[in-house]
Amino acid sequence: MTATYPIQAEFEAALGTERADRLLTQLDNYTNQPNAVKGAAKRPSDPEVEGIAHAAFAAATPEEIDFELDSIGMWGLLMLAARADVSILDSLPASRVDNPKVSSIRRAAAKYQKGLADTSAKTSVVDPADETGSASESPRS
Protein backbone atom coordinates (compact mmCIF):
# COMPACT_ATOMS: atom_id res chain seq x y z
CA MET A 1 0.00 0.00 0.00
CA THR A 2 1.06 3.55 -0.54
CA ALA A 3 0.61 6.64 1.58
CA THR A 4 -2.41 7.40 -0.62
CA TYR A 5 -4.34 4.84 1.43
CA PRO A 6 -3.26 5.46 5.03
CA ILE A 7 -5.97 3.33 6.68
CA GLN A 8 -5.14 0.35 4.52
CA ALA A 9 -1.42 0.91 5.02
CA GLU A 10 -1.83 1.13 8.81
CA PHE A 11 -4.04 -1.97 8.85
CA GLU A 12 -1.59 -3.89 6.68
CA ALA A 13 1.44 -2.87 8.76
CA ALA A 14 -0.21 -3.97 12.00
CA LEU A 15 -1.85 -7.19 10.80
CA GLY A 16 0.69 -8.31 8.24
CA THR A 17 0.56 -7.84 4.50
CA GLU A 18 -0.71 -11.28 3.51
CA ARG A 19 -3.44 -11.52 6.12
CA ALA A 20 -4.58 -7.91 5.60
CA ASP A 21 -4.64 -8.24 1.82
CA ARG A 22 -6.66 -11.45 2.06
CA LEU A 23 -9.27 -9.82 4.32
CA LEU A 24 -9.44 -6.59 2.34
CA THR A 25 -9.85 -8.56 -0.89
CA GLN A 26 -12.70 -10.57 0.64
CA LEU A 27 -14.40 -7.37 1.75
CA ASP A 28 -13.83 -5.72 -1.63
CA ASN A 29 -15.41 -8.68 -3.44
CA TYR A 30 -18.90 -7.77 -2.25
CA THR A 31 -21.10 -6.31 -4.96
CA ASN A 32 -21.70 -3.04 -3.12
CA GLN A 33 -20.95 -1.15 0.09
CA PRO A 34 -24.11 -2.18 2.00
CA ASN A 35 -23.36 -5.83 1.27
CA ALA A 36 -19.79 -5.37 2.51
CA VAL A 37 -21.20 -4.02 5.80
CA LYS A 38 -23.63 -6.95 6.09
CA GLY A 39 -20.95 -9.47 5.20
CA ALA A 40 -18.47 -8.05 7.68
CA ALA A 41 -21.14 -8.04 10.38
CA LYS A 42 -21.59 -11.79 9.87
CA ARG A 43 -17.90 -12.59 10.20
CA PRO A 44 -16.82 -14.56 13.24
CA SER A 45 -15.45 -12.59 16.15
CA ASP A 46 -11.78 -11.71 15.81
CA PRO A 47 -10.78 -9.16 18.47
CA GLU A 48 -7.28 -8.80 17.04
CA VAL A 49 -8.50 -7.82 13.57
CA GLU A 50 -11.25 -5.63 15.00
CA GLY A 51 -8.80 -3.79 17.27
CA ILE A 52 -6.33 -3.24 14.46
CA ALA A 53 -9.10 -1.98 12.17
CA HIS A 54 -10.21 0.40 14.90
CA ALA A 55 -6.67 1.68 15.42
CA ALA A 56 -6.23 2.21 11.67
CA PHE A 57 -9.39 4.31 11.45
CA ALA A 58 -8.55 6.15 14.68
CA ALA A 59 -5.16 7.17 13.26
CA ALA A 60 -6.69 8.60 10.07
CA THR A 61 -7.91 12.12 9.50
CA PRO A 62 -11.55 12.71 8.54
CA GLU A 63 -10.37 13.55 5.01
CA GLU A 64 -8.47 10.26 4.73
CA ILE A 65 -11.49 8.35 6.03
CA ASP A 66 -13.74 10.14 3.54
CA PHE A 67 -11.43 9.30 0.65
CA GLU A 68 -11.05 5.63 1.55
CA LEU A 69 -14.76 5.09 2.17
CA ASP A 70 -15.30 5.39 -1.56
CA SER A 71 -14.16 1.75 -1.61
CA ILE A 72 -16.54 -1.16 -1.06
CA GLY A 73 -14.19 -3.04 1.24
CA MET A 74 -13.44 -0.11 3.51
CA TRP A 75 -17.07 -0.04 4.65
CA GLY A 76 -16.64 -3.65 5.71
CA LEU A 77 -13.43 -2.76 7.53
CA LEU A 78 -15.25 0.11 9.24
CA MET A 79 -17.85 -2.43 10.40
CA LEU A 80 -15.07 -4.50 11.98
CA ALA A 81 -13.57 -1.38 13.58
CA ALA A 82 -16.95 -0.51 15.09
CA ARG A 83 -17.09 -3.95 16.69
CA ALA A 84 -14.04 -2.96 18.72
CA ASP A 85 -15.49 0.43 19.65
CA VAL A 86 -18.57 1.89 18.01
CA SER A 87 -17.45 5.41 18.92
CA ILE A 88 -15.12 5.23 15.90
CA LEU A 89 -18.18 6.24 13.89
CA ASP A 90 -18.07 9.61 15.66
CA SER A 91 -14.85 10.39 13.79
CA LEU A 92 -16.49 10.10 10.37
CA PRO A 93 -16.61 13.22 8.23
CA ALA A 94 -19.86 15.15 8.46
CA SER A 95 -20.76 14.16 4.91
CA ARG A 96 -20.80 10.47 5.94
CA VAL A 97 -22.55 10.64 9.32
CA ASP A 98 -26.11 10.48 7.97
CA ASN A 99 -25.33 7.67 5.55
CA PRO A 100 -27.71 4.72 6.04
CA LYS A 101 -24.69 2.39 6.14
CA VAL A 102 -23.53 4.13 9.33
CA SER A 103 -26.86 3.33 10.97
CA SER A 104 -26.52 -0.27 9.83
CA ILE A 105 -23.03 -0.44 11.32
CA ARG A 106 -24.26 0.99 14.64
CA ARG A 107 -27.05 -1.59 14.85
CA ALA A 108 -24.77 -4.47 13.86
CA ALA A 109 -22.07 -3.40 16.33
CA ALA A 110 -24.63 -3.17 19.13
CA LYS A 111 -25.96 -6.62 18.25
CA TYR A 112 -22.40 -7.98 18.18
CA GLN A 113 -21.60 -6.49 21.61
CA LYS A 114 -24.85 -7.87 23.03
CA GLY A 115 -23.96 -11.30 21.69
CA LEU A 116 -20.54 -11.11 23.32
CA ALA A 117 -22.09 -10.04 26.62
CA ASP A 118 -24.67 -12.83 26.47
CA THR A 119 -21.99 -15.40 25.73
CA SER A 120 -19.80 -14.07 28.52
CA ALA A 121 -22.70 -14.13 30.98
CA LYS A 122 -23.56 -17.71 30.07
CA THR A 123 -20.01 -18.93 30.51
CA SER A 124 -19.49 -17.10 33.78
CA VAL A 125 -22.71 -18.48 35.30
CA VAL A 126 -22.04 -22.11 34.43
CA ASP A 127 -20.44 -24.06 37.25
CA PRO A 128 -17.83 -26.46 35.82
CA ALA A 129 -19.02 -29.13 38.26
CA ASP A 130 -22.54 -28.78 36.85
CA GLU A 131 -21.28 -29.41 33.32
CA THR A 132 -19.75 -32.77 34.18
CA GLY A 133 -22.46 -33.84 36.55
CA SER A 134 -19.83 -35.62 38.62
CA ALA A 135 -19.46 -33.18 41.48
CA SER A 136 -21.11 -33.85 44.77
CA GLU A 137 -22.42 -31.20 47.05
CA SER A 138 -20.00 -30.15 49.70
CA PRO A 139 -21.05 -28.91 53.11
CA ARG A 140 -20.92 -25.18 53.72
CA SER A 141 -18.66 -23.84 56.40
CA nearest 24: which of 64, 65, 79, 67? 79
Tens digit of each residue's pLDDT (9 = 90 or more) over 68-81:
999 999 999 999 99
In the predicted model, is pLDDT for residue 44 greater than 70? Answer: yes
CA nearest 62: which of 102, 36, 89, 32? 89
Distance separating alpha carbons of residues 48 and 113, to the nearest angstrom: 15
Specify if 111 maps to a domain: yes
Query: What's the number of domains the chain is made of?
Result: 1
Specify if 95 maps to a domain: yes
Residue 91 belongs to what domain range? 6-123
Specify if 107 maps to a domain: yes
Specify if 128 maps to a domain: no
Specify if 130 maps to a domain: no
* pLDDT > 70 in the chain, percent: 83
